[in-house]
Structure 1
Amino acid sequence: MQLFYTPDIDASHPQYFLSEEESKHAIRVLRLETGSEVQLIDGRGGLYTAQIHDAHPKRTILKITSVNTEFEKRNHYLHLAVAPTKNIERLEWFLEKATEIGIDEVSLIITQRSERKEAKTERLNKIITAAIKQSLKAYHPILNEPVTLNQLLDKPFKGQKFIAHCEPGEKFNLKDENNPAGALFNIDRPGRGFCSG
């Protein structure tokens, strides 16, 4: 069954109009027809099953047949902060995998040692969108614009905060310290994880 990302869908409406881009993809590329069943995700936890009512390549009309507004709802909130890598493909890979395992928010940070001082969040959001469609995730992670580490740490956050590092000093395992039912804020770099001592 084909899956479409529809962030503006309203669960109270029995019909939905696919955007021109998605309509073209559904009808011309995937060759879906009237009566074909599709699934829709809104990025806020909603998973919808729908049937194509009018297979138009510019404005396909869908009839919603079932709605799950809390599809795979999690009992925690995971917010990661990561410095964009010099090789942008590593950051893209990280966002793809983080989305697939289930993350709620990503903040891009510019640090003292950052080799990359900017990141195109529009492109990175497209990678996140493709990852939620590929892995059937109903929650679209929030991607924040790059800020400095100090700016990020000054923002209010309810929950536990952890910094992953491999500098000398006392280490512990994250799994032993975090509260899985709460909010978790982790600062990390792709390819580097918590060090256990």
Structure 2
Amino acid sequence: MQLFYRENFAEVKQLDDTDSKHCIKVLRKNVGDEIWVTDGKGGMYHCRIEDANPKRTGLYILSEEQGFQKAKRRIHLAIAPTKNLDRITYLVEKATEIGISEISFILTSNSERKVVKTDRIERVAISAMKQSLKAYLPKVNEMISINQFLEENTASQRFVCHLSDLSKPLTEHKIESDVCLLVGPEGDFDPSELEMAAKAGFEQVSLGDSRLRTETAGLVGVTLLNLL
């Protein structure tokens, strides 16, 4: 199954320039061949090629399914990005494959990276969505301060990862349908940030007894939230 992505596909019924070239020039698809397209919002479309144009491949929708493999809960991961951007792109790729709804990058007192180019991150997420045959593209947010994030977050259930005696294992919680997981930088959160998070309704949780790197903690958390 070859999956392509086009935003608002039901309206345009065409692939974009990049996917058109890949479909016609690389995969050698032609008029009459059938492919699958997702709009990244839960729509999965079974299509037939009507115009094998390598710049704007025209398609006819044979059938469609909305809410394709919809997850049982909405998962929002907020994380302080690492200095090495490759580690963050790896996180986004794997989190998308596992299943995630939204990713936010936060700036904390101990953050190693203060700027993230979300256009690159979005391309990684799109590629991972297509590779894993998913129909939901996670929303990628621009970096904001942890103060602003805590003020604006509206998830019904909120957790902050922190390895301490006060932290209850994430696996011991009953997970709701709308959850946010906050993961700090390599140097951990400042005590004042943990205090702010608590006031904003974030409960401290642990992901086990091991000390995890930032991107590892994010992936473990996302995996558990999908399974619990």
TM normalised by structure 2 equals 0.79
State the distance in 1 between where 2:153 and 2:113 align.
26
Deviations for 1:116-157, whole angstroms, at most 9, x for unmatched residues?
111110001000000000001100000100011111000040
Give the root-mean-square deviation of aligned CA atoms. 1.5
Q: After the TM superposition, which parts of structure 1 deviate over 4 Å for at least 4 consecutive aligned residues?
A: none
Shift, 1:96, TM fit: 0.6
Q: Which residue of 1 aligns with 2:200?
A: none
- In structure 2, runs of 5+ residues without a counterpart are 184-213, 222-228
Q: Which residue of 2 aligns with 1:3?
A: 3
Letter in 2 for 1:184: V
Alignment match of 2:148 (pick from 145, 148, 151): 151
Q: How many residues of Structure 1 are paired with residues of Structure 2 in the alignment?
A: 189
Query: Sequence identity of aligned pairs in percent?
Result: 41
Larger relative helix fraction: 2
Deviating more after overlay: 157-166 vs 121-130: 157-166
Amino acid at match of 1:71: F
Paired residue for 1:29?
A: 26
The answer to whether the aligner puts 1:57 opposite 2:54 as a matched pair is yes
Does the CA-based 8 Å contact 2:5-2:15 persist in structure 1? no
**One-letter amino acid of the structure 2 residue matched with residue 27 of structure 1:** I
Cα pair 1:83 1:108 within 8 Å, conserved:
yes
Q: Give, in whole Å, the separation in 2 of the partners of 1:79 and 1:178.
A: 16
Alpha-carbon distance between aligned partners in 1 of 2:16 and 2:125, rounded to the nearest angstrom: 19
Contact 2:155/2:180 (8 A) holds in 1? no
Indicate the larger mover: 54-63 or 113-122. Answer: 54-63
- Please give the TM-score of this superposition, normalised by the length of structure 1: 0.91
- Alignment of 1:191 with 2:188, yes or no, is no
Q: Aligned runs of 1:1-197 on 2, under 5 Å?
A: 1-10=1-10, 16-166=13-163, 168-180=164-176, 182-188=177-183, 189-192=214-217
